[in-house]
Amino acid sequence: MTLLSVNQMKTSIGQYHVLHDVTFDVPEGGVFVLLGRNGAGKTTTLRSIMGLWTPSANSVHFKGEDISGLHASDIARKGIAFVPENMGVFGGLTVEENLVLATAKGKFDATRLKRIYQLFPALEQFWTKQAWSLSGGQKQMLAVARAIIEPRALILIDEPTKGLAPSIIDAMAEAFLEIGETTTILLVEQNFNFAKRLGRDMAVIDDGRIVHTGTMAGFAADTALQEQLLSLSA
Amino acid sequence: MNQLSQTLERFGGVYLLPVFVALVAFVLIGAPSSWVTLTVAGLAMGMMIFLMASGLSLIFGLMDVLNFGHSAFISFGAFISASALAYMSGWLGSAHIGLNLLAIFLAFSAALAFGLVAGWFFEVVIIKPVYHDHLRQILITMGALIVSEQIILAVWGGSPITVQRPAFLEGSWLFGNVTVEIYRAFAFVLGLAVYIALFLVLKRTRIGLLIRAGVENREMVEALGFRIDRLFVGVFMVGSALAALGGAMWAGYETLITPALGGEMMIVVFIVVIIGGLGSVEGTLLGAIMVGLMANYIGFLAPKLALASNMLLMMAILLWRPSGLKPAVK
Amino acid sequence: MTQTTKSPKGALFIKGLVLTIGALLLFAPFLFQDTRSLEVAARICIFIVLVASYDLLIGYTGIVSFAHIMFFGFGAYGAAIALKEMGPGWDAVLLGAAGGLVVSIVVAIAVGLLSLRVKAIFFAMITLATASVALVLASQLSGFTGGEDGITYKAPDLFKTANKLMVDADGKVARLFGVKLNGKLAAYYFVFSTCLVLFILCLRMVASPLGTVLKAIRENEARAEAIGYRVVAYRTFVFCIAAVTASLAGSIYAVWLKYTGPDTALSFSIMIDILLMVVIGGMGTMYGAVIGAVLLVIAQYYLRDLMGVASEALHGVPFLPELFEPDRWLLWLGIIFILLVYFFPKGIAGTLWDKGARS
């Protein structure tokens, strides 16, 4: 079943047309990966879905409902969480405050909190520390934890592996696979090896257009296609 | 050196700066009784300036809106409270402290109420159409300032107005050879109470959490499902009301006010928020206390320099820390 | 690119209007033969330069400075102090103007480098604080600046009203079309010609490659930086140019007025006037400076009279006479200003200019 459907989405930032024709469907469950070169429009796609940029009318449907044009806060309340590229962690707030802010009622659900502690033990350890003092990997964990502290239908994650050490990337992959069992993840990635481990379905964006959609297995097997769509020399 | 700075950090870091200034002033002034008087005056002044500046700082931090018309709230607060006190002058002179208190409470409430209403009007009518456009924002709020000043001139006239104080705040206490003006102590305590209230709201409540998060990253707060713009109207109203309260207290402190008051205070308020770091309440308090102390110490030590001292302080601090002493984490 | 597609109608009108104003100013002493009108004409000349140089900042570079009046004041006080100390002479004017210029450049560079790298809003606050300190200093250092009272002095002999430029057969001052050819006339043409030169220099600046770079920076700072323009250096440079122009205008005004004080050369209300003029005239157009300065100076001199009449007429109505009090003219200008920024952010010149394009 399709959870999120993006149909001929166009987005302009100021006077620049960044997205020309973005069309793809994210099925419910698992990790959907959006690949693309630097500047291809990956981040803009996520931000447009989240309502942080305004996409063209009638271009984004979530659970069958048109959400293009809604305010970001309303989109969030429909059950979409966003983990931006810079993680968007509130540095002046403690780990606890960062998480409590993301809850709907200002209180933690004990079982969800326990699950977060299991996924990211470091967060429990630094519970009362201000978030700016965390390492890059810990901040990324906090950002992801914030997205799953409430039940969500879809999590948008923008390049979570950027600048992280390989060991942390491994841990992150494990966590995503586990989260993906209950929640759908739309992941934007440049790190193809990381994406390959997680994705079931995928799409490739280039110059503001979706140029390929298919399964990750198929794409991983086709090195010529990878070369054509992702290599920097092309 | 590194160790020293770490030790300093543990004992309060930049918060030690006012203490350091006070110590240096103690040595330079030499006479302990004068020093105490000046320090109390400086702290009282600092707390009043803090009230005027805190709203400006938060409003900027949360929405990237700098209201050049902020000083209009200060002026209106001062004049409204002065008029209210004059109206209740019978109660002010009364030997009954209850009537005294009621009069000043009502006068300050009038200033606060005005600040809330005018703040709402300012935000919704004047500023909302020019969010995200700094140039027009500066121009429009400047225009609003011109209009407000003219309205004050039209209503209260251009000549200075004497502000009456309730009897129980007149005079001073004597401790040995140290004199402390009662109104200054009152201003300090009231300012401190407001600061503590503000601090508790920001640290202990969900609204406060949202404000602090919003100052850091507005977009992310929205992506978590909250409407910052609705929150912002509230912050703007409270910030304006605090400025009006600061103005009302300042009127009692100066006892003689002119329509130029707003303009003069605006410069001080700007310097305070630049020194303290925009968007942070602690930074604003620190900046305000620094400015208050410096103004009094230098006014005593080198009166000629007094008016330029704020500017010199600002330049020194900007050279040392370009984004202010205690900016909000961005 | 859009420039070429515009029908020149609106643009032609603006240019025609500006040329007409220029012609009126050129012949002002002959067209309006009373002292007050000549005062108004000279003030218009000075403010055209002051506003045009401010437009370089706000309109072409997108930075808001509240210190422009301070540079004007440096120039005015430089000339005033030199004329007072050295006596009326051209050497004093030159030395004073040069002194004011040097102070302006030094302060402009210091302020620019210290604060132009930060957000526009910080810059506005810092210039405001700096200008207020300059105002305070001017009134504090009374031995040097005359304090609140200002300085009165004599202009060079050529500009003395008693000076006869030409004499007729009887040895009296000669007249041309009924206008006395005396020192006052010479002074006016000194103001007019120097201001004309400064204004043309500003126009040239905007049309030069530098103007193009400035526009690029204003439109997209990050991109201009990426292309390789050193944004801070350019901004500081423009800030200095604007400061120099304002400073020279100040010196000229000091020579004309024969008096310099906080109210004529430093007060914040002049800064507000400049702001009103540039916004009402139209930011980023240069021609707007001319229109804005003319409108506001005339309003300052004559609107008050009109409001006095209105206030009289409303006598008896509660509160309204207060609002139409001649001193309240700024109230109405302030409201007009706000409405303009909302609905016609391009001001008179910019809006009319585009009008031709659409029709």
Q: Do B308 and C330 touch (CB under 8 A)?
A: no
Which CATH number covers residue C179? 1.10.3470
Which CATH number covers residue A202? 3.40.50.300
Residue A134 phi/psi, 5-degree rounding, is: -75, 160
What per-residue confidence (pLDDT) applies to B11?
Answer: 66
What per-residue confidence (pLDDT) applies to C1?
Answer: 38
Please report whether residue C339 resides in a domain: no
- Cβ of A17 under 8 Å from any chain B Cβ? no
The DSSP call for residue A190 is S
Query: C4: pLDDT confidence band, cut at 50, 70 and 90?
Result: very low
Please report whether residue C336 resides in a domain: no
Least confident of B44-48, B173-177, C161-165: C161-165
For the segment B19-34, what is each residue's pLDDT rounded down to a tens digit? 888 888 888 888 888 8
Please report whether residue C154 resides in a domain: yes
Q: Which residue of B has its CA nearest to C321?
A: B154
What per-residue confidence (pLDDT) applies to C120?
Answer: 67
pLDDT of C357 strictly over 60: no
For the segment C176-235, what is each residue's pLDDT rounded down to a tens digit? 776 777 778 888 999 999 999 999 999 998 888 888 888 787 777 777 777 767 777 888
Please report whether residue A168 resides in a domain: yes
Query: A106: pLDDT confidence band, cut at 50, 70 and 90?
Result: confident
Interface with B, mutate which of A73, A99, A133, A148 (most B CBs under 10 A): A73
Of C64, C268, C330, the CB nearest to B135: C64
Residue A184 phi/psi, 5-degree rounding, is: -80, 140
Please report whether residue A219 resides in a domain: yes
Q: What is the ipTM of this complex?
A: 0.90
Write out the residue range of the structural domain in which residue A164 sits: 2-87+153-230
Please report whether residue A94 resides in a domain: no
Query: C129: pLDDT confidence band, cut at 50, 70 and 90?
Result: confident
Rg (CA), chain B: 20
Distance in angstroms (rounded) separating the CA atoms of residues C315 and C319: 9
Average pLDDT over residues B282-301: 91
Say which amino acid occupies C220. N
Query: Residue B69 in contact with residue B304, Cβ under 8 Å?
Result: no
User: Where do the structural domains in chain B lie, given as residue ranges?
Assistant: 46-320
Please report whether residue A121 resides in a domain: no
Please list the alpha-helical segments (H only) found in chain B. 2-10, 16-29, 32-63, 70-87, 89-93, 97-121, 134-156, 182-204, 206-216, 218-223, 228-254, 261-276, 281-301, 306-320
For the segment C138-152, what is each residue's pLDDT rounded down to a tens digit? 888 877 888 788 888
Supply the pTM of this predicted model. Answer: 0.84
Q: What's the structural domain count of chain C? A: 1
For the segment A9-18, what is each residue's pLDDT rounded down to a tens digit? 998 887 778 8
Please report whether residue A223 resides in a domain: yes
Q: Do B143 and C337 touch (CB under 8 A)?
A: yes
Write out the residue range of the structural domain in which residue C33 sits: 26-268
Average pLDDT over residues C105-124: 80
For the segment B221-279, what is each residue's pLDDT rounded down to a tens digit? 999 999 988 888 999 999 999 999 999 999 999 889 998 888 888 888 988 988 888 88
Average pLDDT over residues B197-209: 91
Q: What's the structural domain count of chain A? A: 1
- C120 or B300: whose pLDDT is higher? B300
What per-residue confidence (pLDDT) applies to C5?
Answer: 46
A31 forms beta bridges with A185
Query: C264: pLDDT confidence band, cut at 50, 70 and 90?
Result: confident
Please report whether residue C307 resides in a domain: no
Q: Do A73 and B226 touch (CB under 8 A)?
A: yes
Q: Do B150 and C328 touch (CB under 8 A)?
A: yes
Give B172-207 as a DSSP string.
EEEETTEEEEHHHHHHHHHHHHHHHHHHHHHHHSHH
Residue B215: list chain A partners with CB under 8 A: 92
Average pLDDT over residues B150-168: 87
pLDDT of C319 strictly over 70: no
- Cβ of C342 under 8 Å from any chain B Cβ? yes
What per-residue confidence (pLDDT) applies to C192?
Answer: 93
Please report whether residue A15 resides in a domain: yes
Cβ partners under 8 Å of residue B308, min gap 6: C133, C136, C137
Reading the block at residue C127, the tokens are 């210039």
Please report whether residue A211 resides in a domain: yes
Please report whether residue A47 resides in a domain: yes
What per-residue confidence (pLDDT) applies to C102?
Answer: 95
pLDDT of C45 strictly over 90: yes
